[in-house]
Amino acid sequence: MKAVIQRVSKASVTIENETVASISQGLLVLLGIVTDDTQEDILWLSKKIANLRIFEDEYGVMNTSLINIKGDAIVVSQFTLHAATKKGNRPSYIKAAKPDISIPLYEAFVSQLEADLERKVQTGKFGADMKVELLNDGPVTIIIDTKNKE
């Protein structure tokens, strides 16, 4: 499981000119899933994201988490995070899990993040053509891959 986490002042997801998700201060999480991802990956990644100390404290130091600031989150599925670009110029997405595997894992991840944050997490729509708009705060962007935990 791979996530691109962006600290945002605001973010939204629009599908066919309809806004389906919108937050102010918080995190936009782009989530890519591979076939061998498991519940262990979900638990580890959700806890890591909820507790990342990437928001500024009263001294202007990145020392507080999404939990601490009671911020919001949007999770968007993005299979292109697992693009293989080593050969040629056309990315291969062979590592990305097919929908029958990735949809249940994506939904489980969103549910786990809601539990860890103790608040509703907004989402895009799996497989839809989404327009994601964000104001990256910092900018702060962090990439986490559950296959590289150590």
Q: Quick check: is 79 catalytic?
A: yes
Catalytic hit among 79, 109, 122, 146: 79
122 is catalytic: no
109 belongs to the catalytic site: no
Among 19, 35, 38, 80, the one annotated catalytic: 80
d(CA 76, CA 141): 15
Kindly report the three-state secondary structure assignment for every residue of the chain.
CEEEEEEEEEEEEEECCEEEEEECCEEEEEEECECCCCHHHHHHHHHHHHHCCCEECCCCCEEECHHHHCCEEEEEECHHHHCECCCCCCCECCCECCHHHHHHHHHHHHHHHHHHHCCCCEECCCCCCCEEEEEEEEEEEEEEEHHHCC
72-77 and 26-32 strand pairing: parallel
Choose the catalytic residue: 6, 78, 122, 123: 78
Residues tagged active-site: 78-80
